[in-house]
Amino acid sequence: MGKRDGRASARSIALVVTAWAVTAAVAMLIASNRSTSPATVGGLGPVNWAQPLIDGHATTVAAAESAAGYTIPLPATAAASQSNLTQVWESPNNYVALVFAAGKVTLLIRPATYTDVTAWFNMIVAEVPPGTAAVGQVNGEPAVVIQPNTDPYGPNPAWVEFYRNGLDINVISTSYGTDTLLSIADSVQ
């Protein structure tokens, strides 16, 4: 009976070690994907910078406006403006992505699903580690400001999320810091 118990224990241990190894491999895969893409906020976070919207397709600003049902606000700074807009993406759920300067800045836009902007942004900031994000301001209104390279799972981009005329707008960059992103956000019209 002792040998059978020993074999059963050995199999149990092997099963636990195998399960742990599979879990670790999946966690590493997720972490490696996160290191090349920003965190997800409200389902907007791109998994792939070459296609920044899940189920999205490349289009034009006019076609994206028509499909999304809202006027797409554009920034007007040297870092992001209509003159250096390189890609426009639209998805079936009315999300729009604008890619500027060949990927240095991305704006992700969607209809806002929250009614209390301040409460929503305070909730986002409360869910991340202290010191990584804060409620700041864009044009005197509340905004979430996420510092770059503060994600414990890997590098993250600088990120500013703000509300404008019923839209949730996210300005994201792996090339610029939050000061530049706040300037871009302030210029969105």
51 pLDDT band, cuts 50/70/90, is: confident
- Candidates 79, 48, 94; CA nearest to 171 is 79
29 pLDDT band, cuts 50/70/90, is: very low
In terms of Cβ atoms closer than 10 Å to its own Cβ (0-12, 13-18, 19+), residue 81 is middle
Q: State the Cα–Cα distance between residues 161 and 16, nearest whole angstrom.
A: 42
| Per-residue model confidence (pLDDT) at position 47 | 42
- Condensed to tens digits (0 to 9), the pLDDT of residues 71-81 reads 999 999 999 99
Q: State the Cα–Cα distance between residues 98 and 143, nearest whole angstrom.
A: 19
The pTM of the full predicted model, rounded to 2 decimals, is: 0.75
Fold category of 57-187 in CATH: Protein Transport Mog1p; Chain A (3.40.1000)
- What mean pLDDT comes out for the span 17-33? 30
- What mean pLDDT comes out for the span 27-42? 35
| Per-residue model confidence (pLDDT) at position 83 | 97
Q: For the chain, which residues make up each domain, given as ranges?
A: 1-34, 57-187
Residues 6+ apart with CB under 8 A from 170: 41, 44, 107, 108, 109, 159, 160, 161
- What mean pLDDT comes out for the span 127-131? 88
- Condensed to tens digits (0 to 9), the pLDDT of residues 79-124 reads 999 999 999 999 999 999 999 999 999 999 999 999 999 999 999 9
Q: What is the mean pLDDT of the chain?
A: 80
User: By three-state DSSP, how is residue 86 classified?
Assistant: strand
Is the Cβ–Cβ distance between 49 and 103 less than 8 Å? yes
User: To which residue do tokens 């707008």 refer?
Assistant: 169
